[in-house]
Amino acid sequence: MILARIKQLVRAGAQPDTPDGSIHAPLISATDIAALAAQASLLARLPVREVHDHHAGDWASRWLGRGLDYEESRLYSPGDDIRDMDWRTTARTGRPHLKIYREERQPAVHLVVDRGATMRFGTRRRLKVTQAARVAAILTFAATGQNGVVGATLWGREDDTLPARHGRLAALALIELAGAPCPPLTDPAPTDALRQADRLALLEASLPRGARLVLISDFAWLGAEHEPALARLAARFDVWAIQIVDAAERALPAMGLVRFHDMAHHQNVGLDTAQSSVRNACQAAFARRFDAQAASLARAGIHHQRIASEADDLVALLAHG
């Protein structure tokens, strides 16, 4: 029996968003970047918290942290920065106290863009990784327009991190990296849950407290073992999980006998999609998987939303994030 391959699961699915459809072309073209900048100008102000020890800026801070103006003293709590100890009050009362300061700060955003094997997939309009780059571009432009500082981490075979920077040139550099060519991985390593845990721990250790952290991924890697790390992130940062989902992951079309290749696990699976029972079973399995991912993120205290990879107008989808 010869199994047909899904015609849509080819790089041509990204042609509308690339200059020439080549697997070595950028994920988003210069024309699309300009359109995304226009969308970002319509996006409502991001509800970004201010950071504890980042750049001074134009926004009056609601986050009380180290600054120039003494605000008050309060009792020390485990985990507080001992550099802020109020030793005079501590000596007078016999109980450890902390000094609290108020200062103006710039909003800080850190984007995580997943460019792993499962993101290099698409059946409608574009790849999931292309949509992730588009989302990152809009959020970068929006934050920059509010005088914010934006940094990013790109998860791939080799991870790249861009420190938080201010200004339009820095924003364009970030967008260019997020939209860099992303050809299929011919020999991707199997999904490594330990690597994801290490990545989450690195974010916790490296980001300034109170920053907005945006995770843009399909979350195919997400498991119960990641919940503690995600909960710690949610306790320190304003975390927003944006899940990119392809149409074929929501419901399989009827295409007859099809061979699917799981790039993350090096497995081939044959399905007869002409049978409604097979399509219904797959749709139910997809729904259970999505529900489990949403529940895991909710238990960790993370705001979560899904965005279809084929969606063009992202403003309405992101405005309520």
* Contact call for residues 4 and 273 (beta carbons, < 8 A): no
Query: SS3 for 219?
Result: coil
Residue 24 DSSP code: T
Residue 13's pLDDT is 36
Q: For residues 7 and 10, what is the distance between their CA atoms, to the nearest angstrom? A: 7
Q: Which amino acid is at 282?
A: C
**What domains appear along the chain, each with residue ranges and CATH number?**
4-50+106-318 (3.40.50.410), 66-102 (no CATH)
pLDDT in tens, 156-198: 988 999 998 988 899 999 999 999 998 877 665 555 667 899 9
Residue 11's pLDDT is 33
Q: Per-residue confidence at 218, pLDDT binned at 50, 70, 90?
A: very high
Q: For residues 10 and 8, what is the distance between their CA atoms, to the nearest angstrom? A: 6
* Residues sharing a CB contact under 8 Å with residue 303, sequence separation 6 or more, in sequence order: 239, 240, 241, 321
* Residues sharing a CB contact under 8 Å with residue 194, sequence separation 6 or more, in sequence order: none
The pTM assigned to this predicted structure is 0.74
Q: For residues 252 and 55, what is the distance between their CA atoms, to the nearest angstrom? A: 48
pLDDT in tens, 16-43: 454 455 778 899 998 999 989 888 887 7
* Contact call for residues 29 and 19 (beta carbons, < 8 A): yes
Q: For residues 86 and 135, what is the distance between their CA atoms, to the nearest angstrom? A: 44
